[in-house]
Amino acid sequence: MIDLNTINLNRLTTFVAVVEAGSLTAAAERLGLAKSMVSKHMQLLEQEIGVGLLVRSTRKLSLTEAGRTFYEASRQLLQAAEQAIEQARSGRDMPQGTLRVAAPIDYGLIVVAPVLSQLRARYPALKIDLTCGDHIIDLIAEGIDVTVRLGKLADSGLMAARVDTLSRWLVASPDFLARHGTPATPEDLPQLPYISLSVLPQPAQFTLSDSSGNSTDVRMQNTVFSTNTAYATRAAALAGDGVLRATTFSVKEDVAAGRLVRVLPDWTQPESDIHAVYPASSHLPQKVRVFIDALKAATGG
């Protein structure tokens, strides 16, 4: 087998140019090189492959029999290289393959899934594999390209891009408020029936602040419904079971439609960030980049 490391393949471009231009001078003009440099490349190429390729005379330049065969092979090789480069560039602009995404259940269903469907419509060669769950995904072990994480990120060797703001509202159904009364101050909250998302570090504790800078810590003392999925807490709130501390993205449409009502709307909770997290790499895959860009565009992040 020939050791290609001993051959400068860049000289193939010069050789093909010489054959197609018909002379060393014309090839030099086409390539933007000195005629002496083109001649040198041809001499070195013949030495490297050990075969004479060109027959030089004062009147014209012609190919040896080996040269004709080598020209056709070289031309096809260069065409294949050009096609490979174009295909790579096409892949850069038109992501292909399978994009494997993980996200929390509610954010995945409400925000991520529609964004992925839009990407599929834009890039038909892209396939989607979406995993929704409220546990921390091990990207490497589970073969995930990118995951969405809510709130503060733990230290890791992963890369992250902020895609959205994480904010929360206190909400309850109109029927619940009709039965229990509408709280007027944070002090009215603790004794009300409360719906708890058990996977939070402090499910029944939170801080509220008003526009004047006043801040108060609230500890709900009457949890009547506890579950490990945000989607189930929303269902309980819609059913009138209690007050819910919910992510804004999960209930804003319910509030707009009147199915839920904001409780103490003049009091806010601390905001944090939503990130797209992906393995560290010297080159961000195009399919991951277009997903992150699309998610930012959809959320205003």
- Do 161 and 284 lie in one domain? The reply is yes
Residues 74 and 196 in one domain: no
Angle at 41 between CA 39 and CA 43, to 5 degrees: 70
Q: Is the same domain home to 68 and 125?
A: no
- Host H or E run for residue 119: helix 113-122
pLDDT of residue 135: 76
Q: Which of 64, 93, 122 is the last residue of a domain?
A: 93
Do 159 and 278 sit in the same domain of this protein? yes
Q: What pLDDT is stored for residue 100 in this prediction?
A: 93
Model pLDDT, residue 89 = 58
- Say if strands 261-262 and 168-172 run parallel, antiparallel, or are unpaired: antiparallel
Residues 161 and 277 in one domain: yes
* Residue of 239, 243, 158, 233 lying closest to 208 (CA atoms): 243
How many residues appear in the chain? Answer: 301
Q: Are strands 146-150 and 168-172 parallel, antiparallel or unpaired?
A: unpaired
| Ranges under pLDDT 70 in the chain | 1-4, 6, 58-59, 83-93, 155-156, 282, 301
Clarify whether residues 195 and 256 are in a common domain.
yes
**Where is the domain boundary, 93, 122, 156?**
93
291 and 211, same structural domain? no
| Of 41, 74, 93, the domain-final residue | 93
Q: What is the predicted pLDDT for the residue at 83?
A: 62
**What does 2-59 look like in DSSP terms, one character per residue?**
--GGGS-TTHHHHHHHHHHHSSHHHHHHHHT--HHHHHHHHHHHHHHHTS--EEE-SS
Chain centroid, CA 57 distance in Å: 60
* Residue 250 Cα distances to 40, 69, 253, angstroms: 70, 68, 8
Same domain, 48 and 12: yes
The tens digit of pLDDT for each residue in 128-175 reads: 999 998 777 778 777 789 999 988 877 667 889 999 999 999 999 999
pLDDT for the residue 4: 66
CATH number, domain at 27? 1.10.10.10
Same domain, 161 and 230: no
pLDDT of residue 92: 56
Indicate whether 68 and 185 sit together in one domain.
Answer: no
Q: What is the pLDDT of residue 80?
A: 77
Judgement on whether residues 193 and 243 belong to the same structural domain of the protein: yes
Domain that holds residue 247: 168-270
d(CA 79, CA 197): 60
User: Are residues 184 and 264 located together in one domain of the fold?
Assistant: yes
Where are the extended beta strands (E) located within the chain? 54-56, 61-63, 97-103, 126-132, 146-150, 159-166, 168-172, 194-197, 205-209, 215-219, 223-227, 243-247, 261-262, 272-278
Residues 299, 111 contacting (CB under 8 angstroms): yes
Q: Read off the CATH number of the domain in which 116 is found.
A: 3.40.190.10
Q: How many domains does the chain have?
A: 3
pLDDT of residue 96: 82
Q: What is the pLDDT of residue 91?
A: 53
Q: Which pLDDT score, from 0 to 100, does residue 208 have? A: 96
Task: Quote the pLDDT of residue 88.
Answer: 64
CATH number at residue 226: 3.40.190.290
CB 170 within 8 A of CB 262: yes
Can you give the pLDDT at residue 8? 79
Q: Are 193 and 164 in contact (CB under 8 A)?
A: no
